[in-house]
């Protein structure tokens, strides 16, 4: 996964609270292989009517080139499905700005290079007002934690470990393999100190 530090694109507002991962990608699409692409599933049932046609007024249908999303609180709550992040990333979204995020979603986002940026309620309201139903050119700077839309600039917060990971494009498995000796040591002492922690051989079923 390539790292990134700055991104210039267009921002769009989706002023809805509690956009859960079932809405980000309905479960019926989740048996799709990763390489087939998930972008077309993003917010599928909000974007499309029963016959599969796009709702003309839905923000992401009006502004397909947008790469920055401003959304309401508790974005990505619910299921742990990483497919919700795949749908965003494959649709070209690089960052989501919201007052709060589902914990599992936010971790998944960072693991796929998507920035889950926390903004204050006031800045969220400001961004929604500025963007309205249109889209504006916007710039994100990860290092300084700033989002600029036209003349205004807002700060976002991000866990420092996630910032480093996004900037460097780090992969957790590579990081962990540097600790193989520590892991082995822990495993040995845990096996000794908590012998009950290993699964017992399966008891014969009656």
Partner 1 sequence: MTAPSTLLDQLWSAHEIVRRDDGSSLLWVDRHLVHEGSHHAFAKIEARGLAVAEPDRTFAVVDHYAPTRNRARISDPKIKYMVDTLRKNARKHGLRLFDLDDPGQGIVHVVGPEQGLTLPGLLINCGDSHTSTHGAFGALAFGIGATEVAHVLATQTIWQKKPAAMRLHIDGTLGPGVGAKDIALNWIAKLSADGAQGHAIEYSGSAVRALSMEGRMTLCNLSIEGGARFGLIAPDETTFSYLGGRSYAPRGAAWNAALEDWSKLRTDDAAHFDREIRLNARDIAPTVTWGTSPEQAIPVTSTIPDPTVLTNGKAEAVRDALDYMSLDAGRPIEGTPVDQVFVGSCTNGRIEDLRTAAAVLSGRKAKVPGLVSPGSALVKAQAEQEGLDRIFVEAGLEWAGAGCSMCVGMNGDLVAPGKRCASSTNRNFRGRQGPGARTHLMSPAMVAAAAVTGTITDVRPLLKGRVG
Query: Where along the sequence are the contacts to partner 1 (CB under 8 A)?
Result: 16-18, 20, 22-23, 26-28, 30-31, 33-34, 45-46, 50, 73-74, 77-83, 85, 100-105, 107-108, 111-112, 159-161, 164, 172-173, 175-177, 179, 182-183, 186-187, 190, 194-200, 202-203, 205
The Cβ-side half-sphere exposure at 94, using a 13 Å CA radius, reads 22
Helices 160-168, 103-111: inter-axial angle, 10-degree rounding:
30
Sign of CA dihedral 10, 14, 19, 25: negative
**Residue 103 CB, nearest approach to partner 1 (Å):** 5
**Residue 136 CB, nearest approach to partner 1 (Å):** 22
**Residue 145 CB, nearest approach to partner 1 (Å):** 15
Other beta carbons within 10 Å of 42: 22
Cβ-based nearer residue to partner 1, 65 or 180: 180
Cβ-based nearer residue to partner 1, 127 or 138: 127
Cβ-based nearer residue to partner 1, 23 or 67: 23
The kind and range of the H/E element at 185 are helix 180-193
User: Any idea what the Cα angle at residue 25 is, between residues 38 and 111, rounded to 5°?
Assistant: 65
72: three-class secondary structure by DSSP: coil
User: Any idea what the Cα angle at residue 112 is, between residues 109 and 95, rounded to 5°?
Assistant: 55
Cβ-based nearer residue to partner 1, 151 or 202: 202
**Residue 11 CB, nearest approach to partner 1 (Å):** 20
**Residue 177 CB, nearest approach to partner 1 (Å):** 7
């Amino acid at each position: 996964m390539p790292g990134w530090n700055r991104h210039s694109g267009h921002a769009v507002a989706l002023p809805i609270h509690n956009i859960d991962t079932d809405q980000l990608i309905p479960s019926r699409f989740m048996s799709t292989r990763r390489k087939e692409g998930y972008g077309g599933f993003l917010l599928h049932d909000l974007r499309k009517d029963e016959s599969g046609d796009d709702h003309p007024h839905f923000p992401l249908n009006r502004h397909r080139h947008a790469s920055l999303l401003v959304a309401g609180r508790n974005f990505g709550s619910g299921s742990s499905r990483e497919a919700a992040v795949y749908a965003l990333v494959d649709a070209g979204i690089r960052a989501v700005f919201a007052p709060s995020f589902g914990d599992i979603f936010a971790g998944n986002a960072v693991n796929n290079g998507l920035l889950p940026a926390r903004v204050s309620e006031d800045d969220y309201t400001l961004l929604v007002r500025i963007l309205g139903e249109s889209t504006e050119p916007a710039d994100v700077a990860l290092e300084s934690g700033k989002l600029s839309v036209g003349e205004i600039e807002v700060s976002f917060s991000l866990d420092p470990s996630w910032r480093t990971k996004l900037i460097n494009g780090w992969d957790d498995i590579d990081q962990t393999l540097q600790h193989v000796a520590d892991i082995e040591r822990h495993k040995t002492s845990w096996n000794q100190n908590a012998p009950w922690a290993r699964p017992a051989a399966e008891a014969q079923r009656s």
